[in-house]
Amino acid sequence: MNSKELQERYAAGERYFCAIDLVQANLSGINLSGANLSRADLSGANLSRADLSGAKLRCAKLERANLTDAKLHRANLGRGKLAGAKLSRADLRAANLKGADLAEVDWKDAELWGTVMPDGRVVSSSTQDLAS
């Protein structure tokens, strides 16, 4: 599947896209809110400004993906692989990151209130130090 087919199928009402392979795809600005992308390989993909609100991205591969300004409010990224991802200015409020690999993630100005972190703790403010 390519990015055009993904957009067409989503526009037609499909929401189940488990285990799709869109490595390094340009999905900038795409609306996939509520989609099931569990186990998808989106490594190196450009998802800047994408709307992934409420999306299921459990066990998805997002290493080195660009999620700058992405909407990930209430998204489930549990056990996802996000090493080296760019999440600057992303909206991750109430997202689930439990068990996710977040090595070398760029969090600059990300909104994290209510986010469940890999260790299970919940971020209580958007300015909380992630190193603690």
pLDDT digits (tens, 9 = 90+) for 67-84: 999 999 999 999 999 999
For residues 110 and 44, what is the distance between their CA atoms, to the nearest angstrom? 19
The answer on pLDDT for 119 being more than 80 is yes
Where do the domains of the chain lie, and which CATH numbers do they carry?
1-132 (2.160.20.80)
The pLDDT assigned to 13 comes to 98
For residues 74 and 47, what is the distance between their CA atoms, to the nearest angstrom? 17
For residues 40 and 81, what is the distance between their CA atoms, to the nearest angstrom? 10
Query: In the chain, what is the straight-line distance between the N-terminal and C-terminal CA atoms, in Å?
Result: 40
